[in-house]
Amino acid sequence: MFSDDSVRFLIFFFVLAPLLVRPDPAQAQRVVQADTLYTMTGDGPIIDGAVRIEDSTIAAVGAASEVSIPSGAKVHETTVATPGLIDPRGTVGVSGLYNVPADQDQLDTSEPLQPALRAIDAYNPREQLVEFVRELGITTVHAGHAPGALISGETAVFSTSGETVDEAVEDRRTTVAFTLGPDAQARFESPGTRAKGLSMIRQALADAEAAMGNDEPETDLGTGVLQAVLRGEVPALVTAHRAHDIQTALRLQEEFGFEMILDGAAEAYLMVDEIKEAGVPVILHPTMTRPSGTTQNAAFTTAATLHEAGIPVAIQSGWEPYVPKTRIVLFEAGIAYAHGLPREAALASVTRTAASILGLDDVGTLAPGQDADLALFDGDPFEYTTQVCTVLNDGQVVSDECK
């Protein structure tokens, strides 16, 4: 039998103690008030707007006079608020800050066809580069295997918050990364030419397609991944910069009927009609990419050209083999804005449009029911001297120092 003291302790431990540590519901509520609020829902910015957050979700958005402030809620006042920024194509967390072998897992060069490699097996949520981009307003990254192999592996979408991969991952298999042209030839004995590279990819896809008729479960991991591409379960992210490589990508997609996202696309301005007819979105190279090799004909105006043609375009950080290892997509979008991309489209290229291309439903806009990811600025987001002063991810402040 329990003593009276034991009974009192058990009652306290199991009944009363949880009530003592249960957070006040008001502490889970926040309100962001902004002189200018970019909701990115297509209705234009709200002057003197507000966002009410409950736990990790947006509960209300509108004019500040129309959004109630619950008693005890934390209020954040700012000059400009936007959705948390999205880097729609990079290697952050798979590549690291220091550019040393220990933090460079973005590309395996042991063989040119490796569809079974998974980004979630290499992503490091504690990598300092993840913290760096988070402090500059990026709350979501599409990261994984870089261009440079015919098939370099799977990519995934991660929140820039979370201390474990399971906490950070938002989508475990977002795309499978392919590369066409010379960028896929330099690191391997074979392929040595564009035609050889395409024949190797085509053969891998044909073999995977043929195996789909088997009654036995597929045990080859790479074949299984390619079958998912062929079934339309995951898109192919095809890096192609030169115009004739873009043509090849479109031809390959038509041949096998898979869903495709065009990646890089430095000479896309020469292929506007073909890209539009194919209905393929573009995750464009960084606007300020170094114009060399296959990107030597890159132009500042390509994003504007694609947008004007009605082609969905997002702007990426990309991957380049030198320090500081990643670009900040807001700066890249700002340069595109300076070269003809409309302001709303420029901001959408790293928020709403980026989310749409990647199939992300809960981020990229500020609307009821969306994840409470916000970036708070002390001025115009596209003004170089503006700083990000607060970043919220799932309703929690993850950075509160102006950067």
Distance CA 134, CA 149 (A): 29
Residues 76 and 149 in one domain: no
294 and 217 in one domain? yes
Domain span holding position 61: 24-83+367-399
Residue 54: exposure state from Cβ atoms within 10 A (0-12, 13-18, ≥19): middle
User: How does pLDDT run along the chain (403 residues), one tens digit per residue?
Assistant: 545 555 455 444 444 444 444 444 445 799 999 999 999 999 999 999 999 999 999 999 999 999 999 999 999 999 999 999 999 999 999 999 888 888 999 999 999 999 999 999 999 999 999 999 999 999 999 999 999 999 999 999 999 999 999 999 999 999 999 999 999 988 899 999 999 999 999 999 999 999 998 877 789 999 999 999 999 999 999 999 999 999 999 999 999 999 999 999 999 999 999 999 999 999 999 999 999 999 999 999 999 999 999 999 999 999 877 766 789 999 999 999 999 999 999 999 999 999 999 999 999 999 999 999 999 999 999 999 999 999 999 999 999 999 9
187 and 49 belong to one structural domain: no
Q: What is the pLDDT of residues 62-88, one digit of tens each?
A: 999 999 999 999 999 999 999 999 999
Indicate whether 222 and 190 sit together in one domain.
yes
Residue 331 token pair: 């700066």
Looking up residue 66, the CATH number of its domain turns out to be 2.30.40.10
Rounded distance, CA 368 to CA 58, Å? 5
- Check if the beta carbon of residue 389 is closer than 8 Å to that of residue 401: yes
CA distance 119 to 170: 12
Beta strands in 1-128 (DSSP E): 29-37, 46-54, 57-63, 74-83, 85-90
Same domain, 292 and 217: yes
Within a domain: residue 175?
A: yes
Name the token pair of 355.
């989310």
CATH number of the domain enclosing 137: 3.20.20.140
280 and 319 share one domain: yes
**Do residues 123 and 158 touch, judged by C-beta distance below 8 A?**
yes
Residue 71 shares a structural domain with residue 124:
no
Cβ atoms of 147 and 179 within 8 Å: the answer is yes
Dihedral sign of CA atoms 354, 356, 357, 360 in order: positive
Are 110 and 146 within one domain?
Answer: yes
Q: Could you report the per-residue pLDDT of 287-343, keeping only the tens digit for each?
A: 999 999 999 999 999 999 999 999 999 999 998 777 667 899 999 999 999 999 999
CA separation for the pair 1, 269 (Å, rounded): 82
Instruction: Say if residue 281 is in the same domain as residue 373.
Output: no
> Is there a domain that residue 10 lies in?
no
Inter-residue contact 254 to 231 (CB < 8 Å): no
Q: What is the number of structural domains in the chain?
A: 2
Do residue 394 and residue 352 come from a single domain?
no
Q: Judge if 98 and 236 occupy the same domain.
A: yes
| Owner of token pair 């993840």 | 130
